[in-house]
Amino acid sequence: MKQIQGGVCAAQGFKANGIHCGIRKNKAKKDLALITSDCLAATAGVYTKNLVYGAPINVTKANIADGYAQAIICNSGNANTCNANGIEIAQETCALLEAHTGIKKTDVVVASTGVIGQQMTIEPFANGMAELTSGLGDKSEDAALAIMTTDTVKKEIAFEFTLGGKVCKIGGIAKGSGMIHPNMATMLVFVTTDAAISPSMLQKALSNDIKDTFNMVSVDGDTSTNDMVIVLANGLAQNPVIESEGEDFDEFCKALYAVNSYLCRMIAKDGEGATKLITCNVFGASDKATAKTVAKSVICSSLLKAAMFGADANWGRVLCAIGYSGAELDVTK
């Protein structure tokens, strides 16, 4: 496996774009992103566990219930959460995309991020859709910039790997800076790959992966309302379709982990007010569950974060966090 350029456009058959359509007041900020596949793609998703969540999540869940999608559209600046017409706007956005591209509105992942509770209209989407769709190309960076809110840097990565003798590519973009806490999901992440894998195995790979990636990130302890991680796999690499566990599935999972773990670190490093990236490594635990319990307790400690911020590495705060983690351990060691 090797790192390559291209982000969500690295894999065959994927295009992207990002523009300013008028949702955000600052015209220098892009606020509408689009990712498309040349063909229908197996699709998997995981979502926030917050009971207050954005209308786009409802629409997306319905659209990918059959395990397939062909496009992802996402706006920033307005979360489309707690809006009376939120569902309608999300659905109308999908319909606008169908009118401009021919991609079925029911094959669209729709997402929003930004301020909660602001009124929203369809006009910016309608006004910008022609520019957004006509400008599709190798523009992963533009899409990555368009989904940012309080982020200070774009988050983008891609890798090349091999499945069944075929070269495959996988790439992702993410946004996340504030409202970040390990309770899937607390960010927006969009991953594309040309690997051939069934929807059920793709969902299994993603659901397992987030336990060791996005569910292990914490910035401020708040779980947001609009968060999702979506993976599209269009199969254009023409590897033997992964339909069960085995060597190829394991290799795919390694590639997915490479993308997601990289984006995790970028999100944590770019946390609101953060000046340092803290990574907790646990050794000597009786099992993985115990190690994860300890690690979460340490990285979520506000006192430890304060010590790191102040460059006063008080290791007693590490011990304190381990002690109240709930893990069984021998404190005399």
Q: 42: which strand partners?
A: 68, 233
Residue 256 tokens, joined = 């997915």
In contact, 113 and 175? CB cutoff 8 Å:
yes
CA dihedral 62, 106, 144, 175 (to 10 degrees): -10
Q: Give the Cα separation of 289 and 291 in Å (integer).
A: 5
Q: Which letter does DSSP use for residue 284 in this model?
A: S
| 94: number of Cβ within 10 Å | 25
Pairwise CA distance, residues 244 & 260, whole Å: 22
Of 150, 198, 141, nearest in space to 172 by CA: 141
Rounded to 5°, angle at Cα 290 from 288 and 295: 95
CA 186 to chain centre: 8
Whole-number Cα distances in Å, 306 to 99, 223, 268, 273, 321? 51, 20, 15, 11, 13
d(CA 125, CA 98): 13
Total residues found in the chain within this entry: 333
**Partners of 2 in the β-ladder:** 160
Is 186 labeled as catalytic in the residue annotation?
yes
Among residues 106, 186, 225, 293, the one annotated as catalytic is 186
Residues known to be catalytic: 186
